[in-house]
């Protein structure tokens, strides 16, 4: 009987140890699962934030491109005002090419497209006036500069 009590005691201790080990494993598993859920939630939140930031950066880049184009238009008007029609004509060609590219890239952005449309419509007129050193080119460029400012910003 003594051996039987001893055997039962050993079995009880082994069962207790197994129970403690299983409890610890279960606790670790559930904690890890909660950690995985928190990680998934955090990743989703950061992914959404990254998407918003990417959109903001894209919008800022479009604005910076418009500002750069506007500055170049002002430079063209200054060159024409100084009667440097040759240099203004050379730079005007690149300016209008870049404006056309920007308009193509911004087909989905009505504000940008609306701001660039009058510039592109004036391309042939401005280019011809600069090529013939027509002083009206200066006034036309200045007016385009002011109109572009009003529509782009």
| pLDDT at site 87 | 96
Task: List helix spans (H) across 82-122.
Answer: 85-105, 110-121
d(CA 33, CA 51): 27
pTM higher than the cut 0.85 = no
The answer to whether residues 127 and 144 touch, using CB atoms and an 8 Å cutoff, is: no
Is 42 in a helix, a strand, or coil?
helix
CATH code for the domain of 117? 1.20.120
Number of domains into which the chain is organized: 1
| pLDDT at site 117 | 93
Averaged over successive runs of 10 residues, the pLDDT of the chain (153 residues) comes to 80 84 83 84 88 92 92 97 95 96 88 91 97 95 93 75
| pLDDT at site 151 | 83
Name every residue whose Cβ is closer than 8 Å to that of residue 112 and which is 6 or more positions away in sequence: 62, 66, 102, 103, 106, 152
Q: How far apart are the first and last CA of the chain?
A: 97
Rounding to the nearest 10 degrees, give the CA dihedral for residues 85, 91, 92, 96: 180
Structural domain boundaries, residue 8: 2-152
């Amino acid at each position: 009987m003594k051996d039987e009590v001893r055997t039962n005691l050993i079995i009880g201790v082994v069962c207790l140890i197994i129970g403690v080990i299983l409890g610890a494993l279960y606790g670790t598993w559930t904690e890890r699962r909660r950690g995985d859920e928190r990680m998934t939630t955090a990743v989703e939140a950061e992914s959404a934030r990254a998407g918003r930031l990417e959109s903001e950066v894209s919008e800022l880049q479009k604005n910076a491109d418009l500002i750069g184009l506007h500055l170049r238009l002002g430079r063209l008007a200054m060159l024409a005002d100084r009667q440097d029609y040759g240099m203004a004509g050379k730079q005007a060609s690149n300016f209008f090419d870049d404006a056309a590219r920007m308009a193509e890239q911004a087909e989905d952005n009505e504000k940008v497209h609306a701001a660039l449309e009058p510039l592109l419509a004036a391309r042939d007129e401005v280019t011809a006036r600069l090529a013939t050193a027509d002083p009206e080119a200066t006034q036309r460029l200045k007016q385009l500069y002011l109109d572009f400012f009003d529509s782009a910003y």
